[in-house]
Amino acid sequence: MVETQSTRSISASQLSLQGKTALVVGGSSGIGNAIAHGFQDSGARVAIAARTPAKVEAATQRLQELDPTARGYVIDAARPEEIDELVATAVTDFGHIDILVACQGMTILKPAEEVTPAEYDEVMQTNLRSVFFTCTRFGRHMLELGNGSIITIASLAAHRGWPLASIYAASKHGVAGLTKTLAAEWADRGVRVNAISPGFFMTELNQSKMSSKRKENALLRTPMGRFGQLDELVGAAIYLASPAAGFVTGTVLNVDGGYLASGI
Ligand SMILES: NC(=O)c1ccc[n+]([C@@H]2O[C@H](COP(=O)([O-])OP(=O)(O)OC[C@H]3O[C@@H](n4cnc5c(N)ncnc54)[C@H](OP(=O)(O)O)[C@@H]3O)[C@@H](O)[C@H]2O)c1
């Protein structure tokens, strides 16, 4: 098709989030924070939620510089009752939540045979149980609206074995399975559910936990030969949240510098 001015403007408007309200759980730092700012730049009203009050406050203030209606909520998403309260408060504050990003996550790196039950529970509660209840509780609200886009954050560890990160890999395989299942369950009720699989991005989650050797291995296995920049993840989230992805649900979108494409 010959590109005309009108086809170009239709494409641009399909990527706009104008009139939408987005909530990013885990939006006080790293990937979630970058996505929250990207959504705001694309026209959405934005809220974030996370556990540490000082981080939530600082991140909210930065969002409010562009839009004073931005909100920050302090919650522990590992507690389903706090998610229920968050849904009620956010809907009271904004009227509707159209876009949810469940970005909360953590990791513990240690040999699988040394993992304790407490460590297992902490990672699974943060990365999978809390994501399950975040998606399903906000999903209820979106199903009532008959409209919504949910984005989960998977990982390369949702696709591959991950030495020293056995619980993390198990939880992220779970996130991918949950994403596809919710997508299939809700596809005919207006709610789309997709995942982003980031490659290596240096954040509070992994910067100090990965040894130099592990970082070196990660770079060697990433065909682009570098770590990702946070703003390189934002476009994928805007696309999945926007009307441009209206027929896209249940997909896991890799933003990984070619890692999963490469055989060696
Ligand atoms: N960085 C990477 O290379 C990479 C690669 C693949 C996937 N990921 C995934 O991307 C997501 C974001 O990680 P990140 O790298 O951006 O790390 P990050 O900067 O540590 O961000 C994690 C966010 O989640 C929040 N959080 C953690 N536990 C929570 C809970 N129970 N309730 C509410 N909020 C909680 C954190 O704030 P508080 O601690 O204050 O609550 C923070 O806002 C994670 O799911 C991670 O597994 C990251």
Q: Each residue's pLDDT tens digit in the chain (264 positions)? A: 455 555 556 677 899 999 999 999 999 999 999 999 999 999 999 999 999 999 999 999 999 999 999 999 999 999 999 999 999 999 999 999 999 999 999 999 999 999 999 999 999 999 999 999 999 999 999 999 999 999 999 999 999 998 999 999 999 999 999 999 999 999 999 999 999 999 999 988 888 888 999 999 999 999 999 999 999 999 999 999 999 999 999 999 999 999 999 987
Evaluate whether residue 2 is within a structural domain.
no
Q: Is residue 8 domain-resident? A: no
Q: Does residue 175 belong to any structural domain of this protein?
A: yes
Q: What pLDDT does residue 206 have?
A: 84
- String of b and e for 88-119 (b: at least 16 CB within 10 Å)? eebbeebeebbbbbbbbbbbbbeeeeeeeeee
Element holding 254 (H helix, E strand): strand 252-255
Nearest-angstrom CA–CA distance, 157 and 27: 21
What pLDDT is recorded for position 9? 65
Q: Write the residue with the smallest CA distance to atom 34 of ligand 1.
A: 50
| Domain containing residue 253: CATH number | 3.40.50.720
In a domain, 77, yes or no: yes
Mutation choice for ligand 1 from 31, 123, 200, CB with most ligand atoms inside 8 A: 31
Nearest CA to ligand 1 atom 36: 26
Measured in Å, residue 199 CA sits from the centre of ligand 1 at: 14
From 29, 74, 206, 231, give the residue whose CB has the most ligand 1 atoms within 8 Å, as the site to mutate.
Answer: 29
User: Which residues are within 8 A (CB) of 3 and not within 5 positions of it... i.e. 6 or more apart?
Assistant: none
What residue numbers bound the domain in which 112 lies?
A: 17-199+229-261
Question: 36 CA to middle of ligand 1, Å?
Answer: 13
For ligand 1, atom 33: residue with the closest CA = 50
The CA-atom distances, in angstroms, between 182 and each of 10, 151, 209 are 29, 11, 32
Domain count, the chain: 1
Does residue 183 contact residue 154 with C-beta atoms inside 8 Å? no
CB atoms within 10 A of CB 71: 20
Return the active site residues.
Answer: 168
CB burial of residue 233 (10 Å; 0-12, 13-18, 19+): buried
Atom of ligand 1 nearest to the CA of 200: 3
Cα-to-centroid distance, 105 and ligand 1 (Å): 4
Which sign does the torsion angle of CA 27, 31, 37, 43 carry? negative
Residue whose Cα lies nearest atom 46 of ligand 1: it is 105
Total length of the chain: 264
Domain presence at residue 36: yes
Residue ID of nearest Cα to ligand 1 atom 8:
155
Minimum-distance ligand 1 atom for the alpha carbon of 56: 40
Task: Give the strand pairing for 99-102 and 71-74.
Answer: unpaired
CB 68 within 8 A of CB 42: no
As for ligand 1, residues whose beta carbon falls within 6 Å of it are: 25-26, 28-32, 50-52, 55, 75-78, 103-106, 126, 130, 153, 155, 198, 200-201, 203-206
Q: Give SS3 for 199.
A: coil
In a domain? residue 221: no
- Position 205 scores a pLDDT of 83
Confirm whether 157 is domain-assigned: yes
Q: Is residue 12 part of a domain?
A: no
